[in-house]
Structure 1
Amino acid sequence: MKKIWVFAEYVNCTLDRVALELLTKAKELAAGLSGETEVAAVLLGSRARSACKVLAEYGAEKIYLAESEELGLYNPMLYAPIITNLVKREDPDIFLFGATAIGSELGPTVAAQLKTGVAAHCVDLRINEKEQLVANVPSFGGKILGEILCPDTRPQMASVKPGIFVQGEPEEKEPNIIEEDVRGIKTEGLPLKAITLEKKEIVGVPLEKAEIVFCGGYGLGCKENWEKLEKLATMLGGAAACTRPVVDEGWAPGEHVMVGTSGKSIRPKAYVGFGISGATHHICGMKDSGLIISINKDDKAAVFEVSDAGAAADLNKVLDQLIAKLS
């Protein structure tokens, strides 16, 4: 029997949505493999059992559960050995992680211990004719999509950012829980110790939950225009976002507002882009928006190819006129 696993990230008594997105994708990948394929989730944490039913409803036929108070706060020196030993025992063919802060550290750590590879920050996954996992990863500044395979070692591992894949619909199902014995886990003597977890409060509408997103690219030209974009988003009950160059220039506050393969993936009902060129690494993060509108003075900008509507116009004038109309 072939096996596809998903690491279910559980932090502060909350299951990260990327686990449910990856389970949905895992079921799709399983359909591309011959013979019987089992989809399972790996769950570590304190009082994490409550998340098992949700994982089962989204496609996990088994849930490998390691539950302990010592696992309440993420520590790679505790998590990685447990997962590595589990993989060596059960021998999964594919193992998927969310490309979150935790997954981006834990996935490669486990891969190194298993002497296998991991394709990071993938934008798509599929099974080829040889029944190998093919991972699509943006390369050369997002201008091309590379294909990464791991033909010689197992498991084949990949990480995917939240929002890349669509979360499927749940089906009523009771969980099949395989409990791992972690009673002997010890934290004494570890060079790294997790002390506390602080959650950063987000002002305004969270980017992933906004129904309308106003996104600025390098064409904004200055911090003043970013502030105008934020004002417009607030006036319309939406969220402001940007591309990486805007953060790099210091116009926007940080990576939590960045959209793309190195930022967040979003699916708002409406996306309005200002000064966006249309680089692949940004498009990957917003292509599934319901309605895409773009404003760019360059009428040949690549972003217009994925837009439902657009205007070759001066974004400075458009921003000022919209704010004036709404004031």
Structure 2
Amino acid sequence: MATVYVLVEHAQGELVPTTAELITAANNLGEVTAVVVGTPGTAEPLREALAELGAAKVVAAEADDADERIILPHTDALSMLAAAEPGPIVIEAGAHGNEIAGRLAARLSSGVLCDVVAIHADRTASMSIFGDSIDVSAAVGGTCPIYTLRPGAIEAKPHAAAGALETLALPAASDKDVKVTRFIPTERGDRPELSQAKVVVAGGRGVESAEGFSELVEPLADELGAAVGATRDAVDEGFYPAQYQIGQTGATVSPDLYIGLGVSGAIQHTSGMQTAKKIVVINPDEDAPFFQLADLGAVGNAEEIVPALIEAIRQHRS
């Protein structure tokens, strides 16, 4: 069976949830080798979880200074493995992953497809382009085709595998390396991760202020155990931090339930959430384009509807 390499996403000693999606997508191409880049001892605590997700082999690509460098350790590890035993490579889409993918394509003389939403056994991939208005199937060449997978595009389907651990010594840093001199991790809140949440409550420009988010969007999200999202307009206006932006230039979400408050439905935003299973919209403008996409819409002000909705939820639970 062909070998397919997956670059493992991990942080603070834990797997990032998108790793499960990467392994699920890669299983269509062959036997998964999960590549963990880090300092010595990083991979061992992750091995069992990776095996449960479907990794037949786990490669610990290690160097003492791996956490102080960016891009090149990951590129070196994957290129060394694929040069020795050619096979497809699957990486998380994003600024970091796409940069690695481009460098690998040059090193391995293989094609690369970025931001795919599915990978097929014949090495083609599905892509959603032009603001997710057109679905296409794309082919890629080379002995080591490279794919970056859009987070949240597919549902993870773990299945146990051996997860045999191997080690790979990374090359020493060179003058080409960029060194990290300081790193401050983002503090995790009590809400679910946006890209993995089963319920998302998002606010748009119609929320009108940062206070609108704190008084309407966040309370409703907390009542439902949901993640909070925002449109680009809301972020540009300073209503909410950019890390919670959903859409073409933000995160892609595919929750069981999406609730949009004061969201008009511009394609910039809908391209990042239109695969939600149920879409609920609250907007005072009955002609807002979002109503055409919604499963349920309420015409009215969020200031009036949301408190009543929260109260109804609480009464239903009591």
CA distance in 2, matches of 1:16, 1:225: 31
Aligned-pair CA distance for 1:186: 1.9
Alpha-carbon spacing, 1:203–1:82, altered in 2? closer, same or farther (3 Å)? closer
CA distance in 1, matches of 2:47, 2:222: 40
Amino acid at match of 1:179: T
2:40 matches 1:54: no
1:33 alignment partner in structure 2: none
Please, which of 173, 179, 183 is the counterpart of residue 193 of structure 1?
179
2:275 matches 1:275: no
Aligned-pair CA distance for 1:97: 0.7
Aligned length: 309
2:25 matches 1:39: no
SS at structure 2 position matched to 1:69? coil
**CA-to-aligned-CA distance 1:159-212 (integer Å, 9 cap, x gap):** 2233222122343x4322343244xx3236455223343212245524437664
2:170 matches 1:176: no
CA distance in 1, matches of 2:290, 2:200: 16
C-alpha contact 2:246 2:269 (8 A) present in aligned 1? yes
SS at structure 1 position matched to 2:4? strand
2:76 matches 1:81: yes
Alpha-carbon spacing, 1:241–1:301, altered in 2? closer, same or farther (3 Å)? same
1:23 alignment partner in structure 2: 23
* 1:104-253 pair list within 5 angstroms: 104-122=98-116, 124-127=117-120, 131-139=122-130, 142=131, 144-145=133-134, 147=136, 149-171=138-160, 173-182=161-170, 185-187=171-173, 189-208=175-194, 212-223=199-210, 225-233=212-220, 236=223, 238-253=226-241
C-alpha contact 1:49 1:67 (8 A) present in aligned 2? no
What 5-or-longer segments of structure 1 have no aligned partner? 31-36
1:34 alignment partner in structure 2: none
The TM-score with structure 2 as length reference comes to 0.80
CA distance in 2, matches of 1:277, 1:18: 29
1:2 alignment partner in structure 2: 2
- Say which is worse superposed, 272-281 or 16-25, in terms of deviation: 272-281
Alpha-carbon spacing, 1:229–1:108, altered in 2? closer, same or farther (3 Å)? farther
Aligned-pair CA distance for 1:60: 1.8
C-alpha contact 1:267 1:290 (8 A) present in aligned 2? yes
SS at structure 2 position matched to 1:201? coil
SS at structure 2 position matched to 1:165? coil
Aligned-pair CA distance for 1:231: 4.9
CA distance in 1, matches of 2:217, 2:206: 15
Aligned-pair CA distance for 1:242: 0.9
**CA-to-aligned-CA distance 1:248-304 (integer Å, 9 cap, x gap):** 3333222x1112343234455543112334455534543455643111344454533
Aligned-pair CA distance for 1:23: 0.9
SS at structure 2 position matched to 1:263? coil
Alpha-carbon spacing, 1:121–1:196, altered in 2? closer, same or farther (3 Å)? same
CA distance in 1, matches of 2:232, 2:109: 33
C-alpha contact 1:17 1:162 (8 A) present in aligned 2? no
C-alpha contact 2:5 2:89 (8 A) present in aligned 1? yes
The TM-score with structure 1 as length reference comes to 0.78
Aligned-pair CA distance for 1:150: 4.2
C-alpha contact 2:69 2:177 (8 A) present in aligned 1? no
Please, which of 298, 301, 305 is the counterpart of residue 311 of structure 1?
298
What 5-or-longer segments of structure 2 have no aligned partner? none
CA distance in 2, matches of 1:8, 1:100: 14
Aligned-pair CA distance for 1:136: 0.6
SS at structure 1 position matched to 2:153? coil
Alpha-carbon spacing, 1:300–1:160, altered in 2? closer, same or farther (3 Å)? farther
2:101 matches 1:102: no
Alpha-carbon spacing, 1:298–1:136, altered in 2? closer, same or farther (3 Å)? farther
